[in-house]
Structure 1
Amino acid sequence: MEIVNANCATLSNYEVLKHLQKIKDSKKKHKGQLATITYETIRYLENTACSEQTPENIKECLNALAPFNLNKTEKLMIINSPPTTALDIQLMIEESEERLSEQQAEQILEIITRYFPHVMKEKVEQEEEATE
């Protein structure tokens, strides 16, 4: 088998979750490894940020991120694993120190908080658990 175009399309975790849920809910029952992989992947994705996302929030977030000149891969990483700190942004965005000011990094965090408020709730809950 030959891969003709490896980067033909990339899917967000949200899109993968919705697609797998359609496969699971279809009348045609899958057996064996496909059913196991589908089940395990859905179970994993339901415990990530994508389970709380909506197509509208994703689209609005991407529009809000447009002024920062991020490439597709960087946007996808931000959508799949919304950053909660400036360090997260540095890890996701190549050469972020040169491309973004501290103020711009804070603006990106504000955008994430605006469109994915559940992410900040999860962060606060994790911090509370760590202090206990």
Structure 2
Amino acid sequence: MEMLKIVAFKLGDEEYGLDIDQVQSIERIEHITRVPNAPSYVKGVINLRGKVNPIIDLRSKLNLGVAQYTENTRVIIVKYEDIELGLIVDQTSDVIDIDPKAIEIISSDNFNADYFRGIAKVDGRLVILIKLAELMQTPTN
């Protein structure tokens, strides 16, 4: 089985990961133009290299509370279907290789496990793997 390559990032004290094939770039947070009547987790749009990209606060989308933006805050530009959008994260960690055998599937009635592919155990770290497609398709209040 081929190793998975993921971009690891933090939301609070927890580490998350996205498949590197979905990640276009990692940017510093810049001016975000608010969009009227958007869901609360949509912070607005940015103009990045001539393209207007929607920006989603991943903490808000996952109901993890509100974070203050710092020097470490980053926007991960991802490609979902034909759309490029940005995900605000507390900080990016690194790119890591994960053996698919090191991933445990999440099953719980207490939260929406549809967003998550599983939890990977890598060198003493627990990395929650996000399913981008499900995350973007599921509305959140």
Q: Same fold (TM over 0.5)?
A: no
**Structure 2 length-normalised TM:** 0.23
Counting strand residues as a fraction of each chain, which structure ranks higher?
2
**Structure 1 length-normalised TM:** 0.24
Counting helix residues as a fraction of each chain, which structure ranks higher?
1
